[in-house]
Structure 1
Amino acid sequence: MNTILKISLMSGVFLFVGCKDYLSEEPQKQQDIKTVEQLEALVDNATAFAYEASITATYSTDDTEISAELYKKNPTAFTVDNLQYYTFQTTGVENVATDGLWSGEFKKIFTANVILKNIDKVSGSEVVRRRVKADAHFIRAMSNWILVNTYCAPYSSENMDEPGLPLKKTVDYEESLKRTTLKETYDFILADIEAAKAVAEDDVDPRRLWRVSQKAIAAFMSRYYLMIGDNENSLIQSNLALQSTRAGLVDYKTIAVGKSVSYTNPSAVLNFTELNDWVASQFLYWKEFYYTRYQYTGNQWFLPSTELIALYDKANDLRYKHFMIENGGRRFSVVTPATYRYTVFSDGRYIPSGPSVAEVLLNKAEVHARKGEVNEAMAAINTLRQKRMSTYVALTASDKDDAIKKVLAERRRELPFAMRWNDIRRFSVNDYPGDDVVVKRDFFEVSATGVDVNKPVTYTLDKKRYAAPINGVELDASQGQIEQNKY
């Protein structure tokens, strides 16, 4: 396989076609792009951009727990590949067969680059051209953001010269795959965001929530600035996003009962909400989104930890009642021990991860709490909780530390799995020791060939491992250009 061919593997465009076929057909496909409407159709293929297949987010945080007892009694319910992530392996993760997050996000970047290469050459409406160009910049920024917060060191002044991402700015197969610095990666993301701000649309389009708008950009920047520790700018962007008249909170009391599922030997009935049966034509339009994105797990099983479950008011919190399914492990023939399953959309495949009204309220609350503005922090939190509790009682906080504690607990209840990996990373480099997280596992020895249940091991997530290993297939395909993280 020649060099160009190997490099193009990294972009994710080789998933279903032969190498020779691709090199002969893809340039022709791009030559066939003549109108801005064709590029618009790429953006409007929403399912090509909406899903983030992060095994790291699903398995590597303290939101997830696979107890020794659970595994020992149900070993076939878990793959060795996923257990590599669960136990914070390095070479084990590098050597798994594929990494859907890396290839998936680079495929989105490739498509965005195709749009940007052709956008000023094609015929059509200037209004549409402007919007589609902004969409492409935002798609590329979002994908690079997800990648840098998975495979690179956390953002801090000390880490700016650490390895960032290989930045794919064109569709040129000869473009360098060498990793830039962390600073260069973040600068490129910001440059794409600035370019996306050219979009004319101010508010979200509820019929096309995968299109960028000024409010979607503000919501994303509320997240961006919070994650890099720029609280003042995060607050400014949060307030801008919350001016939206189209994105809004869903009152969880209005979510209807869905289908129940019955099991025998022993008997059990599992009750779900209507959301569990929603398909893409429904959940892509979730009212709370500024911009549609979902954390996806193909095995349909987010396994909430005992610690996470304990954070909920089980009598009144509708997030617990609706989504924390007791005995949910029955879906995968797990009977003993009884095991929870966190399910929101499409039988547990998807949970919201895109910028949402709920997240922006939590971002705003956290900034106020860290500034010692206790009443403002609680006001933002309680705006959310009014839509989440069957019997609402306002949260209060006695001081700054208490406010931070309660805001972060609320954040975890609202955004499990989707945001926890990013939060653990940023907590480790900020100047507030009270939010530091230690993630530990009491499990068994895990190797590439399996699990030795006769060898108990305690695993602790090391700070160097906050940068997940890059898949070996991608390293090989780059012919040594992409360097692995050092552990």
Structure 2
Amino acid sequence: MKKYIYILFVMNVLWGCDSYLEEAPSKSTNLPLETIEQLDALLGNYSYFYQDGSRNAVLCTDDWEVSKSLYDGYNGSAYRSMEIAQVSTWDVENTAYDGREYLWSGEYTKIFYANMVLYYLDAVTGSEEQKAELKAEAYLIKAYSYWLLVNNFCLPYDESTKNELGISLKNSVSFEESIARSTLEETYIEIENCLEEALKLKSTIVKGGTFRPWRGNSSAAKAFAARYYLSVNNYTKALQYANAALGEYSELFDYNSEMAFYESTVTVNNEEVEVNYPDTYNFTTSDILSYKEFYYARVSYHGYAWYVPSQTLMGLYDKDTDLRYKYNFVENYSYTRDRTGISYPGYVAMGMYNIPSGPTTSEMILIKAEAMARTGNWQDAMNVLEQLRIKRIDSNKYVELTANSQEEAVKLIMKERRIERPFVFTWYDYRRYNTNEVDYDDVNLSREFYPYNSSTVLNGEPLVTYELKKGDRKWARPIPNTEVESSLGEIKQNTY
């Protein structure tokens, strides 16, 4: 069988390479995959890999504000859409059919590209060392995507749920391969198998003098392993891999010296209103991909361009000392989305759409501290935590945190995780808190909001209470119904 690709979107991947790629294949209407450089170019096309886009991580926790007052005072679609109302109240009847759940198809597209590299490796020219690196990188992509999928569309994993539905495990480029969902236990076994292969990466994060976190590398694999093992409450391995990643690369962004404001105004009712962004608001794609804390350059993408912080979230920050509040919470941000509505802040990290979601050095410090604290070494864990805080707290007002017990230390570290990266960590953290060995960190969520039907928010009616409790089957978000239907029933929808 000749190794030719005629599928248009695959051609676009190969053609869309830019200066980040070391070598791109020549254009052809029938491009044969014959060389290792072509497969390298496929994985090097960062535009197909660097965005995640979990609407559940953005909307489904108490990082996101859901309130009558904000809904009533705001006129724009960036807050008043049916998608936001339904997803943020954990609806399962309508959200499977809204056509706006892109994570499933997006991550399976990445898995397809990874499988294509694995399929063609034996057929192309190139050294065994080059092939081994691309193989390991492809498995890192698969492990990462499987992890995102299982933590969005499946129940939290523990002994009681291991026989529940997992995700579809794809190991080839054949359209004849079964897409039936595995069990949750089989899914996690497959993630670990992929991770084991990914940990064979030998490429360093700095290659030829260039910082390259958009590509698979040894530090990225170790950092993702730390995240993975924390997510399944294996603190020993989480600590092992966090230490390993930090041992290879440990650069931190210092809010005291490397952050500034980008001053701007908007016109609201014929008056100029200040909206002062952090200078990271102007990050280009190149700036995002070269952000020095990244081990693996991935960002969470929110298409409504307004991360609406809850009053609860904002209340967690010491507003006088924490530079993360000073720079990342932009006053009057709502006016950029609706020039006639009310003033409300927005959370801004990298532009209006993106928040870093890939493994970072700051995350590794937090994983290291939490793993130490949960395994009893909580006094030293607090010292580790300060390695991050000293880069985030105003140096003129800096005071170390103190804890008097293991539980207090763990809770302080949990808080730091949340305020370090809201709209990214929180959803995944809540899932693992509800399946770990203690109950003092259990999470039950509730919101008061208007009732709604499939097409309209009934804002003339009394508020109702929406809940997402520990053990609720709604922790597994609905798979897009288009995927269920196109599979002819092979993909089973979650039951509630």
Q: Same fold (TM over 0.5)?
A: yes
Aligned ranges for residues 41-60 of structure 1 at < 5 Å?
41-60=41-60
Q: Please, which of 240, 251, 255 is the counterpart of residue 252 of structure 1?
A: 255
Task: State the Cα deviation string for residues 398-440 of structure 1 (Å, max 9, x = none).
Answer: 1111111111111110010111110111111112111112211
Q: Please, which of 465, 469, 476 is the counterpart of residue 478 of structure 2?
A: 469
Q: Please, which of 423, 435, 460 is the counterpart of residue 429 of structure 1?
A: 435
Higher alpha-carbon deviation: 28-37 or 141-150 = 28-37
- Normalising by structure 1, we get a TM-score of 0.91
Counterpart code for 1:249: L
Q: Please, which of 304, 307, 317 is the counterpart of residue 299 of structure 1?
A: 304
Distance 1:52 1:39 in 2: 22
Q: Please, which of 419, 424, 438 is the counterpart of residue 425 of structure 2?
A: 419
Counterpart code for 2:142: R
Match of 1:330, SS state, is helix
Match of 2:98, SS state, is coil
The answer for the alignment partner of 1:223 in structure 2 is: 227
Higher alpha-carbon deviation: 317-326 or 254-263 = 254-263
Higher alpha-carbon deviation: 127-136 or 216-225 = 127-136
Task: State the Cα deviation string for residues 338-363 of structure 1 (Å, max 9, x = none).
Answer: 211001112x2110111111111111
The 8 Å contact of residues 53 and 101 in structure 1, kept in 2 or not, is answered as yes
Matched, 1:441 2:425: no
The answer for the alignment partner of 1:8 in structure 2 is: none
Counterpart code for 2:255: Y
Distance 2:155 2:338 in 1: 38
Deviation (angstroms), 1:12: 12
The answer for the alignment partner of 1:164 in structure 2 is: 166
Distance 1:273 1:134 in 2: 37
Task: State the Cα deviation string for residues 317-374 of structure 1 (Å, max 9, x = none).
Answer: 111111111221111116654211001112x211011111111111111112222322
Matched, 1:480 2:482: no
The answer for the alignment partner of 1:137 in structure 2 is: 139
Counterpart code for 2:40: E
Match of 2:447, SS state, is strand
Aligned ranges for residues 370-409 of structure 1 at < 5 Å?
370-390=374-394, 391-409=397-415
Aligned ranges for residues 285-324 of structure 1 at < 5 Å?
285-324=290-329
Distance 2:168 2:201 in 1: 27
Distance 1:70 1:378 in 2: 38
Task: State the Cα deviation string for residues 225-250 of structure 1 (Å, max 9, x = none).
Answer: 111011111111111111024x4111
Task: State the Cα deviation string for residues 75-104 of structure 1 (Å, max 9, x = none).
Answer: 533211222111110021111114211111
The 8 Å contact of residues 239 and 368 in structure 2, kept in 1 or not, is answered as yes
Higher alpha-carbon deviation: 393-402 or 199-208 = 199-208
Aligned ranges for residues 350-369 of structure 1 at < 5 Å?
350-369=354-373
Deviation (angstroms), 1:464: 0.9
Compared CA separation, residues 224 and 59, structure 1 to 2 (3 A): same
Counterpart code for 1:477: S
Match of 1:164, SS state, is strand
The 8 Å contact of residues 291 and 355 in structure 1, kept in 2 or not, is answered as yes
The answer for the alignment partner of 1:345 in structure 2 is: 350
The 8 Å contact of residues 149 and 422 in structure 1, kept in 2 or not, is answered as yes
The answer for the alignment partner of 1:114 in structure 2 is: 116
The 8 Å contact of residues 70 and 336 in structure 1, kept in 2 or not, is answered as no
Compared CA separation, residues 430 and 335, structure 1 to 2 (3 A): farther
The answer for the alignment partner of 1:270 in structure 2 is: 275
The answer for the alignment partner of 1:458 in structure 2 is: 465
Higher alpha-carbon deviation: 325-334 or 74-83 = 74-83
Counterpart code for 1:460: E
Computed over aligned residues only, the root mean square deviation of the Cα atoms, in angstroms, reads 2.1
Task: State the Cα deviation string for residues 181-216 of structure 1 (Å, max 9, x = none).
Answer: 111111111111111222222445553212222221
Aligned ranges for residues 80-229 of structure 1 at < 5 Å?
80-205=82-207, 207-229=211-233
Match of 1:440, SS state, is strand
Distance 2:59 2:29 in 1: 38
Deviation (angstroms), 1:484: 0.8
The answer for the alignment partner of 2:66 in structure 1 is: 66
Counterpart code for 1:251: D
Deviation (angstroms), 1:39: 0.6
Task: State the Cα deviation string for residues 278-318 of structure 1 (Å, max 9, x = none).
Answer: 11011111100111111111111111110100011111111
The 8 Å contact of residues 289 and 355 in structure 1, kept in 2 or not, is answered as yes
Task: State the Cα deviation string for residues 22-77 of structure 1 (Å, max 9, x = none).
Answer: xxxxxx98871111101100111112101011111111111001211111222533
The 8 Å contact of residues 366 and 407 in structure 1, kept in 2 or not, is answered as yes
The 8 Å contact of residues 266 and 335 in structure 2, kept in 1 or not, is answered as no
Compared CA separation, residues 12 and 364, structure 1 to 2 (3 A): farther
Deviation (angstroms), 1:137: 0.9
Distance 2:316 2:339 in 1: 24
Deviation (angstroms), 1:262: 3.5
Match of 1:453, SS state, is coil
Match of 1:442, SS state, is strand
Task: Report the structure, 1 or 2, having the larger helix content.
Answer: 1
- Normalising by structure 2, we get a TM-score of 0.90
The 8 Å contact of residues 76 and 337 in structure 2, kept in 1 or not, is answered as no
Match of 1:454, SS state, is coil
The answer for the alignment partner of 1:325 in structure 2 is: 330
- Matched residues, number: 464
Counterpart code for 2:475: Y
